[in-house]
Amino acid sequence: MLEKVTAFNSRLCHLILWLSAAGLVAMTFIIGWQVFARYVLNDSPSWSEQASLILMIWYAVIAAAAGFHEGFHIRILAVQTSVSEPVARAMRLLAEAVVIICGVMMLIWGIELTGIISSHVIPSLGISRSWAYLPLPISGALIILFAGTRFAGEIIRPGWTAEKPVESQMNQAGTN
């Protein structure tokens, strides 16, 4: 079961990264159009700045959840690698629990914020301001899923989330 959830998480993470990259490309085109329209056509579109900001919020916040799954986040392992395995395991479990709690807060407060701001409209786009805050609860749910899987994996198989030595990661990358 753990392998199926992990495989699902990996596919979901891959999709999220592709969507985030598409958002970055779309934002680049919008900004390019804005610059061209402003300096060449002398007619800057009113919607481009707000559309770019919303796209940036979406791809950055959602990609942050994927970054957690992929291990792109900053972490310090010096203490964890210098203690005994039972203590290191407790540290991994505590770290995953803290991340899950942060994901729960993002989910709950993001839903609340999205609801509070839903009646406000972005004038240049004509859409609810809640679209700018919707990535918070979505990212929170993804973080809960990814960290929850890692937490469960560490409970079921001690050492499952332990850092592998750099040499073994390089060897694994070479065989893929």
Which sequence spans correspond to the domains of the chain? 2-164
Residues of the chain with pLDDT under 50: 165-170
Q: Residue 163: its pLDDT value, please?
A: 58
- Cβ contact 116:156 at 8 Å: no
76-114 residue pLDDT tens: 667 777 788 888 888 888 888 999 999 999 999 999 999
* pLDDT of amino acid 82: 77
Please report, for residues 4, 103, 166, the alpha-carbon distance to residue 118 in angstroms, rounded to integers and kept in the order given: 37, 22, 47
| pLDDT recorded at residue 90 | 87
